[in-house]
């Protein structure tokens, strides 16, 4: 599995990372050509795990003592800050788009639904991985309530963080609506209904911390770290993601990463 991950490693970033509690992947980062070549792969060709095969799960003893937070770690959006101040009591998530029964979910709604707990390894394209325990509601259970229309092909996640303001401190700047659009991501319906695809509200038995995407994030264990969208604000079912951002299906995809990032 690690060998297969190598061809997806983005050049740079991996070198010199010292991570307590996380593993450096044994890897030789390749150049940007490999990344672009990968983009040409179709969804099916890019699948590295056979269809419907679950990602590996681990015993609790393997959970990383420190799990590296990455990407946005402290969203500055005033609406998000207000939610943090109220301990997310006022948070609710609309689920709409191409569905028969659009509705919003509070955290209490989600916690009252069936839950799944899984200990999995998160692999970041930067070349590190950490093992964590995640608890949440299967996305399939949420979709069953809103009833996707037959033409729905993608589940799109709209987020509270804005790129360029919420990333690492050296890149942080003032919030600018135009130049710092909200982070977004998307997945296909096939992966959306995998049993390990969950909307996680807890990590290692605690409420999801802000740095890891509070109060709700996606865990999609058959794909790489960057597909595991944090700070979910709303969910939209769509038949195409061409109208969003630069049209590649997510913030990271708009930067050149593959839309399907199989482990």
Ligand X SMILES: Nc1nc2c(c(=O)[nH]1)N[C@H]1C(S)=C(S)[C@@H](COP(=O)(O)O)O[C@H]1N2
Those residues with Cβ within 8 angstroms of residue 136's Cβ, 6 or more apart along the chain or in another chain: 110, 115, 116, 198, 199, 200, 201, 202, 216, 219
Residues 52-81 as x/- pattern, contact with ligand X by CB under 6 A: ----------------xxxxx---------
If one asks whether residue 248 binds ligand X (CB under 6 A), the answer comes out as no
**Span interacting with ligand X, options 25-33, 50-58, 88-96, 226-234, rule CB under 6 A:** 226-234
Query: Judging by DSSP bridges, how do beta strands 217-220 and 206-207 pair with one another?
Result: unpaired
From the CB of 64, what's the least distance to ligand X, in Å? 10
Q: Which is nearer to ligand X, 77 or 148 (CB)?
A: 77
Cβ atoms of 209 and 87 within 8 Å: the answer is no
Q: Which is nearer to ligand X, 45 or 162 (CB)?
A: 162
If one asks whether residue 124 binds ligand X (CB under 6 A), the answer comes out as yes
Residues 187-246 that bind Mo ion (CB under 5 A): 225-226
If one asks whether residue 215 binds ligand X (CB under 6 A), the answer comes out as no
From the CB of 72, what's the least distance to ligand X, in Å? 4
From the CB of 151, what's the least distance to ligand X, in Å? 26
- Candidates 31, 4, 29; CA nearest to 14 is 29
If one asks whether residue 225 binds ligand X (CB under 6 A), the answer comes out as yes
Sole residue written with tokens 């995640």: 134
27 CB burial (10 A radius; 0-12, 13-18, 19+):
middle
The interface partner of residue 212, options being ligand X, Mo ion, none and the CB cut-off 5 to 8 Å by kind, is: ligand X
Q: Give the C-alpha distances (Å, rounded to integers) separating 194 from 46, 125, 150, 189.
A: 17, 22, 18, 9
Those residues with Cβ within 8 angstroms of residue 69's Cβ, 6 or more apart along the chain or in another chain: 211, 212
From the CB of 125, what's the least distance to Mo ion, in Å? 5
DSSP-derived 3-state class of residue 5: helix
Closest residue to ligand X in the complex (CB): 71
Residues 137-176 that bind ligand X (CB under 6 A): 159, 161
**Interface contacts to ligand X, rule CB under 6 A:** 68-72, 124, 159, 161, 183, 212, 225-226, 228-231
**Interface contacts to Mo ion, rule CB under 5 A:** 124, 225-226
């Amino acid at each position: 599995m690690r060998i297969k991950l190598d061809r997806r490693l983005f050049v740079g970033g991996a070198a010199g990372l010292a991570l307590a509690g996380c593993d450096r992947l044994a890897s030789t980062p390749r150049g940007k050509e490999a990344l672009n070549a990968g983009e040409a792969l179709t969804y099916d060709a890019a699948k590295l795990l056979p269809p419907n095969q679950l990602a590996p799960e681990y015993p609790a003893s393997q959970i990383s003592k420190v799990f590296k937070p990455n990407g946005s770690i402290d969203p500055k959006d005033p609406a998000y800050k207000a939610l943090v101040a109220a301990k997310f009591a006022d948070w609710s998530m609309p689920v709409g788009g191409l569905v028969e029964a659009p509705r919003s979910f509070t955290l209490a709604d989600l916690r009252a639904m069936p839950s799944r707990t899984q200990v999995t390894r998160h692999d970041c394209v930067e070349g590190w991985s950490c093992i964590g325990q995640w608890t949440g509601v299967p996305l399939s259970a949420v979709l069953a309530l809103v009833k996707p229309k037959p033409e729905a092909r993608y589940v799109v996640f709209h987020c509270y963080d804005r790129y360029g303001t919420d990333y690492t401190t050296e890149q942080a700047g003032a919030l600018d609506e135009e130049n710092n659009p909200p982070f977004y991501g998307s997945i296909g319906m096939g992966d959306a209904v995998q049993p390990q695809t969950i909307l996680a509200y807890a990590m290692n038995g605690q409420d999801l911390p802000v740095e890891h995407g509070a109060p709700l994030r996606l865990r999609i264990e058959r794909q790489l770290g960057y597909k595991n969208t944090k700070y979910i604000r709303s969910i939209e079912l769509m038949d195409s993601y061409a109208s969003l951002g630069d049209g590649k299906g997510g913030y990271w995809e708009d930067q050149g990463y593959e839309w399907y990032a199989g482990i």
